[in-house]
Chain A
Amino acid sequence: MEGKVPATDYCGTKECVEEAPSRPAPMGWREIYLKEDWWAIYLGIGITVIALAAFLNGSSILKSLAINPGGLKWTSFGQLADHFSQNLNLYLLQMLSWLVIFGISTRIMGIKTDEFVPSFIILYVLSIVMFAIGGWADASKYNLEPPLVALILGLIIANVVHLPKWLDSGFRVEYYIKTGIVLLGATFPITLIITAGPVALFQATFISLTTCLVIYFMATKVFGLDKRLGAVLGTGGAVCGVSGSMAIASAVGAKKDYLYTAVTLVVVWALVMIFFIPFVSKAMGLNPGIAGAWVGTSEFADAAGFAAASAYGKMAGNENAAIQGFTLMKVIGRDMWIGIWSFIFALIACLKWEKEECGTRPDAMEIWWRFPKFVIGFLVASLFMTAVTAGYGTADFNKVVKPGLILPIVSLRSWAFIFCFLSIGLTTRFRELKAAGVKPFIAFTTGVVVNVALGFILSVYVFGGHWSMLGQ
């Protein structure tokens, strides 16, 4: 670390040594109410349990509350207006429900309620518009997929209209996507994770390692940039985008500017990939499961990846397959391992880069504290719902369980995803992004090219037969 010296330089006297705390008082388990990962678990599992209870008691309340206009297939504005006038109460009740559960949880995490509430209401109204566009009978003919439209609309609003910064309080991209992922777990068979997970893990790990090494090599050996910048860029491009960069930046004690540079490069390339991969997949007529795996390998962040996978799934007529391929590759294959990446880089920084100055050895518990806990919620929801629905035959499942239990959860998941996709656009202000510099840009872009090419080859040619079985 720059300017760092052995801790003994700070404590030159006995008194000082005794006064100085030996370890920081960690947030520790208080994270169960201070981190959004845990709240995503509570909301996702809570909604799933309520849906199950309503289903078992023959209540249709959650089914009614899970309303959205995405499946209307309307052909005239009159039809759309009729739908809203007939269901206005349900929409108001739904908005109020989202407001309460997200509002209370964000308040506990420290976000101001008087900022969150107006921001979320705007987000909700825009989300209804997105669903309504997606519900137009001709929407797919013009590629008006809600994820892409939401992203573009958000980008336009954020960069043309100067939104006040406090509105970001309601545009919680990560919180919404994590809640959506836990809800996704409730419709994701655990058997699929067990059977397809190992291949996803192998493909994701191989490409992550390769991409990280390419970016690190380009940054440090070719351009002579700081090792810490190479590490922050490498994990941003290879593991899980900005979250990966943030974890590694703190593990190696990187300059704030390095993290800022990684944020810019990840955001810009992630936005490019949201459009590039779906439209190339469409041009090539890729199977949606295969395209989903490709997105999962080559997109940088969960939120951006779900936008790309969902958009292509809708284009190809099998959203489920694309979402499954993406989830296996990204959530199971990449996200889960960020704590280990972080610990390894902390060890390298401590034992190799700053042998003489490393005052505090990395603590292996950091692997747990940095673990993206929402993955636990995803797995628990998957296990729970697989067990609950195991007793139903295929006919009963399709006739009873699907419409009464699964589809309401899918609808609420779609709401969480739309909140997220809109929030990506609404929080992307290009004028605020940092000029990354030519060398970091080329180093990162080289990794992107390698990642996308390898992701394509492995998803299509090496494991294509495997991924094409998804969503059936």
Chain B
Amino acid sequence: MGTAPCFHCRHFVNDPKRIESSIPGLNTLSSAYASVRGEAGLCSRLDLFLSPGADCRYFEQDGAEQKGT
């Protein structure tokens, strides 16, 4: 069955710099550039912190933005 993972959604933000600026204090004792984050990111629509493989009804295909950095 095909699914629509958040990784390919336009609402999914996993750029480390944007994650750190969205959650002040995150870089004080941790880092969005750490292995432990994996490729998790923020859903800008639902305000959730998600794994890239999560999915939901609000998925919208990401057109241009390069993910995974």
Contact = CB atoms under 8 A, between A and B. Distances in A.
Interface of A: 1-5, 7-11, 16-27, 30-31, 34-38, 109-111, 165, 168, 171-175, 240-244, 246-247, 249-251, 253-260, 263-264, 266-267, 270, 300-301, 303-304, 338-339, 346, 359-360, 363, 366, 369-374, 424, 427-429, 432-434
B28 A254 contact: no
Contact of B49 (A16, A244, A255, A270): A255
A109 B33 contact: yes
Main SS class of interface, B: loop
- Closest A-B pairs by Cβ, 9 of them: A24-B7, A250-B40, A242-B30, A174-B31, A432-B24, A17-B2, A301-B29, A37-B35, A7-B3
A37 B5 contact: no
B1 interface: yes
Interface of B: 1-8, 15-17, 20-31, 33-42, 46-59, 61, 67-69
Given A17-B1, A253-B48, A9 B57 contact: yes
A27 B48 contact: no
A175 B33 CA distance: 9
B35 A372 contact: yes
Contact of B56 (A1, A250, A251): A1
Nearest to A375: B35
Contacts, number: 228
Most buried by A among B5, B27, B29, B54: B29
Nearest to B44: A256
Nearest to A241: B29
B46 A3 contact: yes
B31 A7 contact: no
A30 B68 CA distance: 9
Nearest to B54: A253
Nearest to B23: A260
Given A20-B3, A35-B35, A370-B35, A253 B50 contact: yes
A168 B27 contact: yes
A10 B55 contact: yes
